[in-house]
Chain A
Amino acid sequence: DAGVTQSPTHLIKTRGQQVTLRCSPKSGHDTVSWYQQALGQGPQFIFQYYEEEERQRGNFPDRFSGHQFPNYSSELNVNALLLGDSALYLCASSGDLGGSRTQYFGPGTRLLVL
């Protein structure tokens, strides 16, 4: 059973560019959450997708958008990249098991904006 997978593993972009990160959830999971983790910090919640809809969003600008596909995989898009967007982007999948939502994380995509 494959766990959560993310692609690419590393990415270098320049300011103003756009980037798309991809995530495939763990088998049987229908919910995907995205996090941004700056160096030395805890993960910051970006948004969560369920049934192809964004159902919860953190304190991130509209430059951050996402999508969930019918097979539950998801994309995170960031437009007009800023230097401060450099971070590890983590995807986590979960399924509602009796009200407790343990999240399973992918290895992350490390984005460097120059």
Chain B
Amino acid sequence: SQQGEEDPQALSIQEGENATMNCSYKTSINNLQWYRQNSGRGLVHLILIRSNEREKHSGRLRVTLDTSKKSSSLLITASRAADTASYFCATDPGYSSASKIIFGSGTRLSIRP
């Protein structure tokens, strides 16, 4: 079963526009991570936000975390064709060094030229 659920499942926007993806999860977490996957290849880690952080930036990426609502959002500003990919959130409960990281079902982002 998946811990996180991304919304929307698919998103198509014009190049240059901003893209926002949301993630909801069910249990308490130590941190939440966002990953990108191109065409069924390996996942690339984008950004990690800890449970005591509310917002984090990395280049054109902005991630927010609301632990009271058990939700996170990923904003990609000034989108480019190369941003076309699937994006996954992953939660780390962190209750022990052996705790497992659980992925959501992903948002498929398509950037139109």
Contact = CB atoms under 8 A, between A and B. Distances in A.
Interface of A: 4, 33, 35, 37, 39, 41-45, 48, 50, 55-56, 58-59, 88, 90, 92, 96, 99-108, 110
Interface residues of B, number: 29
Contacts of B50: 100
A45 B88 CA distance: 14
Contact of A55 (B30, B33, B98): B98
B98 A56 contact: yes
B98 A48 contact: yes
Nearest to A3: B42
Contact of B101 (A99, A101, A110): A101
A4 B88 contact: no
Given A4-B42, A59-B1, A107-B41, A43 B33 contact: no
A8 to B, nearest CB: 14
B52 to A, nearest CB: 11
A102 B42 contact: no
Contact of A42 (B41, B44, B88, B99): B88
Contacts of B90: 103
Interface centre among A48, A50, A59 (most CB of B within 10 A): A48
Given A104-B45, A105-B42, A106-B42, A56 B100 contact: yes
B103 A99 contact: no
A102 B100 contact: no
B102 A45 contact: yes
